[in-house]
Amino acid sequence: MGHLFSVISVKIHNDTDGMRAALSRASLSLYTTTPNPRVGCVIVRDGEVIAEGHTQPAGFAHAEAHALQHAAERGVDVRGSTAYVTLEPCSHHGRTPPCADALVAAGVARVVVAIEDPNPLVAGQGLARLRTAGIAVTVGVLAQEAREMNAGFLSRMQRGRPWVRMKVAASIDGGTALQNGQSQWITSAAARDDGHAWRAQACAILTGIGTVLQDDPQLNVRAVDTSRQPRRIVIDSRLEIAPDAKVLRGGGSWIFASLDDETRAARLRAAGHDVIVLPADSGKVDLNALMQELGRRQINELHVEAGFKLNGSLLRAGVVDELLMYFAPCLLGPAQGIARLPVLENLSERRSMRFHEIRQVGPDLRLRALLSDF
């Protein structure tokens, strides 16, 4: 996969500087690497970056191989240099050869790694290969930042399910739609464009049949440039979706149901969609079973844009890891809320989370709150 290289000009004074440069490089692969992790690599000698790379789309070069290719194209000898990598170099033959072996063959003297790879096919074996070859290895530099970069991949490897981010657009008093269902638009165009950037980095976007029937969303990325559209997923327990729904345009959507209606399912499959029937939980799709199935289907990051009913169900099921909330500077009064949750009898029953980031986007406020740790 071809790529125009441009060497980072910043001076590298220490390992933190080196890893920051590698993380910056990894960010270039936010939209493209699924189901692989986003990894950056910079190769440094005497405080200067002499080569750099990031993970290419699945089936093409990993970050380390990409950086070594960059070095070769520039005619740079990397022997004796230090490589900064945001994730442990792989040690197995997949669609590409092991990156650990490539670093050994290139003759680098030292490798600095942010985090170990929990993939059972790697899990420390890449680091062991480097050390066996006499390469000095340091692990743990900017580990938290590296974990956040790959929260979805780490979640799938460690928990068998994706990292679930729930996006909400609301008024300051928590209204997401008027009582008659009108919701377009509460937040600004700037906030909506920002939301598309979060869509773009997800492996899949999920909504419920209620939102499809009410708003008929496209659920694709339009406001940012991306070479890959996320998978579109609809939870539709009784297969009520209309064949001309916008979310079905172009084929390839996944419909999760609890009712095995062969006639309706056959119609959807004939149009190029995948219908998956999962165990029912009180007549609805079992959400924990859904997340495990998405993990099996190699979904790392799941972006949820749904109504207050499905939002409430996902939160009650305990499968939401992060809230991405946009608050507009307005009041709606009596309106549909963020999520339908049960009435609590005691404050000790509340679900706690922690604020991770607060930022103004246009006239609106973007707040990220975590229910799980990266």
Question: CA 67, CA 64: separation in Å to the nearest integer?
Answer: 5
Cβ contacts of 309 within 8 Å, gap of 6 or more:
208, 210, 340
What's the half-sphere exposure (Cβ side, CA atoms, 13 Å) at 321? 20
DSSP assignment of 107-170 = T-SEEEESS----TTTTTHHHHHHHHTT-EEEE-TTHHHHHHHTHHHHHHHHHSS-EEEEEEEE
- In three-state secondary structure terms, 81 is coil
Question: CA 46, CA 359: separation in Å to the nearest integer?
Answer: 37
- In three-state secondary structure terms, 132 is helix
First to last CA, the chain: 31
Catalytic pick from 64, 88, 305, 322?
A: 64
Residue 29 DSSP symbol: G
Confirm whether 301 is a catalytic residue: no
Question: CA 69, CA 135: separation in Å to the nearest integer?
Answer: 20
- Phi, psi for residue 284 in degrees, rounded to 5: -115, 165
Question: CA 29, CA 37: separation in Å to the nearest integer?
Answer: 9
Q: Per the structure block, which two tokens stand in for 269?
A: 């499959």
Question: CA 85, CA 174: separation in Å to the nearest integer?
Answer: 42
**Beta-sheet pairing, 254-257 with 231-235:** parallel
Report how far apart, in Å, the C-alpha atoms of 146 and of each of 87, 100, 115, 127 are: 7, 19, 7, 17
**The amino acid at 176:** T
- In three-state secondary structure terms, 236 is coil
Q: Label residue 188 exposed, middle or buried (CB < 10 Å: 0-12, 13-18, 19+).
A: middle
Q: How many CB atoms lie within 10 A of CB 46?
A: 8
Residues serving a catalytic function are: 64
